[in-house]
Amino acid sequence: MTDLLAAPSTLPQERRLVTEVPGPRSRELMGRRNAAVSAGVSTTLPVFVERAGGGVLVDVDGNSFIDLGAGIAVVSVGNAAPAVVEAVQQQVAAFTHTCFMVTPYEGYVAVCEELARLTPGDHEKRSALFNTGAEAVENAVKIARHATGRQAVVAFDHAYHGRTNLTMALTAKNMPYKHRFGPFAPEVYRAPMSYPFRDAPGTTGAEAASRAIAQIEAQVGTANVAAVLIEPIQGEGGFVVPASGFLPALADWCRQAGAVFVADEVQTGFCRTGDWFACEHEGVVPDLIATAKGIAGGMPLGAVTGRAEVMDAVHGGGLGGTYGGNPVACAAALAAIGTMRAQDLAGAARAIGDTMLPRLRALAERTPAIGDVRGRGAMVAVELVRPGTTEPDAELAGRVARACHAAGVVVLTAGTYGNVLRFLPPLVIGQDLLDEALDVLDEAFAAPMPPLTSRPPASPA
């Protein structure tokens, strides 16, 4: 096991196209997919995957793609990471499920111990495990309401928190997440985000926080606020990095207001931004932290971790679920966390940022449509606009993404206006592969694909 924690993927780490994209076998499967799978489930890049590992995805036609999406920030340790595979195989052969609420098992407890060690703050902590990010966020809200006896939850412009009824209400963007799916859960309020590219020039984090807090106090009322919920760097919203001072000011306000400060680190957590958690960058200690995505190397797992007195406020049986903290997912999480530690994947994320941000800034210098380059660690993005304005250009984002896909690089779009290209490589991606992906991106901006007659599909999460 110790050796496996440092083991690389055995799959050749290369970009190699042997057919057009998508190839004939993928097109055939796409036909079956369209006849069997709901049209409500979208596809960013219609190539069917056969194998994946390290920084590549290999499709059923034998094409090998450089992966700058990591399954939306999930396979940070690499796809089919050797230690994760071994841990899953051992656990699945021992037992697959008991339901932790019926008869417990050690793996669940060990994951909660790791969460207590790794999350910010040295206070006493407890965790509860679930299956998805939305479930984690939803439970964080339940816990905050129960612990405070209050109902109002504050979320932010451009926020993404999931697709369940409560998390749809917390999510800001109508299409595709909310459109015609209402009515939404009540007692959810939206406050203005700190968005340096779109705020008045020079707006500080403290000023943006004052603006948000004034709105909360006036429209919700301090005494009604159970929780302030925020992504420390917004994910689906377009990798919006708030101005420094914004998050600490909100956390301070919560402390004074008796509200629970909840960090949704579902996308930012587990080394993605160059720290174990993005909140650490400004020394912010959330009361509750929701995690999922990168936690378990691709197995479904979500968690809420936080102050013991808040987490333990809930009556026995108030939290849980049949599958929450499934033993196979817990085994995968322990192996993924071990891999992050053994390979210093937080350091790897910082190195990825150190490669990508200067390259993207150089690209922006010669590309007037790139209005902003931002991000931290291995969570970086470019926002595309009509040159010289802040007017979003989603069409160009779609064209550049398609050009990258056609050239063998998986990139994702994001943003309330759909005009952001976001990059989330596996943290184990090799330097050569990353450099090559950036070359492809340069070429895609030099000659983006022709416009689509219909809109490109919206990004998945």
Ligand X SMILES: *Cc1c(COP(=O)(O)O)cnc(C)c1O
Q: Minimum distance from CB of 449 to ligand X (Å)?
A: 27
Q: Minimum distance from CB of 159 to ligand X (Å)?
A: 8
C-beta of 61 vs 236, nearer to ligand X:
236
Binding residue for ligand X (CB under 6 A) from 78, 133, 353, 426? 133
Q: Minimum distance from CB of 432 to ligand X (Å)?
A: 29
User: Is residue 161 within the footprint of ligand X (CB under 6 A)?
Assistant: yes
351 vs 270: CA distance, rounded Å: 15
Binding residue for ligand X (CB under 6 A) from 48, 108, 160, 253? 160
Q: Minimum distance from CB of 72 to ligand X (Å)?
A: 6
C-beta of 134 vs 410, nearer to ligand X:
134
Contact 166, 138 (CB under 8 A): yes
Other beta carbons less than 10 A from residue 93's beta carbon = 8
281 vs 284: CA distance, rounded Å: 8
Instruction: Identify which of 302, 383, 284, 368 has the alpha carbon closest to the alpha carbon of residue 115.
Output: 302
For the window 375-414, what string marks contact with ligand X as x by the rule CB under 6 A?
----------------------------------------
Of 8-16, 228-236, 417-425, 450-458, the window that binds ligand X (rule: CB under 6 A) is 228-236
User: Is residue 267 within the footprint of ligand X (CB under 6 A)?
Assistant: yes
C-beta of 239 vs 445, nearer to ligand X:
239
Binding residue for ligand X (CB under 6 A) from 26, 132, 305, 355? 132
Residue nearest to ligand X (CB): 133
Contact 403, 28 (CB under 8 A): no
Question: What residues contact residue 454 under an 8 Å CB cut-off, 6+ apart?
Answer: none
In terms of DSSP bridges, do strands 288-291 and 302-307 run parallel, antiparallel, or are they unpaired?
antiparallel
Q: Minimum distance from CB of 155 to ligand X (Å)?
A: 11
User: Is residue 352 within the footprint of ligand X (CB under 6 A)?
Assistant: no
Q: What is the dihedral of CA 341, 342, 347, 352, to 10 degrees?
A: -110
User: Is residue 292 within the footprint of ligand X (CB under 6 A)?
Assistant: yes
User: Is residue 137 within the footprint of ligand X (CB under 6 A)?
Assistant: yes
In three-state secondary structure terms, 372 is strand
User: Is residue 231 within the footprint of ligand X (CB under 6 A)?
Assistant: yes
User: Is residue 353 within the footprint of ligand X (CB under 6 A)?
Assistant: no
User: Is residue 440 within the footprint of ligand X (CB under 6 A)?
Assistant: no
C-beta of 22 vs 415, nearer to ligand X:
415
C-beta of 292 vs 370, nearer to ligand X:
292
C-beta of 267 vs 305, nearer to ligand X:
267
83 vs 5: CA distance, rounded Å: 5
Instruction: Identify which of 449, 437, 440, 441 has the alpha carbon closest to the alpha carbon of residue 396.
Output: 449
Q: Which helix (H) or strand (E) holds 207?
A: helix 205-219
- Helical ranges in 343-428 per DSSP H: 345-365, 394-406
Binding residue for ligand X (CB under 6 A) from 209, 378, 401, 461? 461
Contact 45, 410 (CB under 8 A): yes
Q: Which helix (H) or strand (E) holds 87?
A: helix 82-94
DSSP one-letter string for 290-335 = EE-GGGGTTS--EEEEEEHHHHTTSPTTSS--SSTT-HHHHHHHHH
By CB under 6 A, name the binding residues for ligand X: 132-134, 137, 160-162, 231, 235-236, 264, 266-267, 292-293, 461
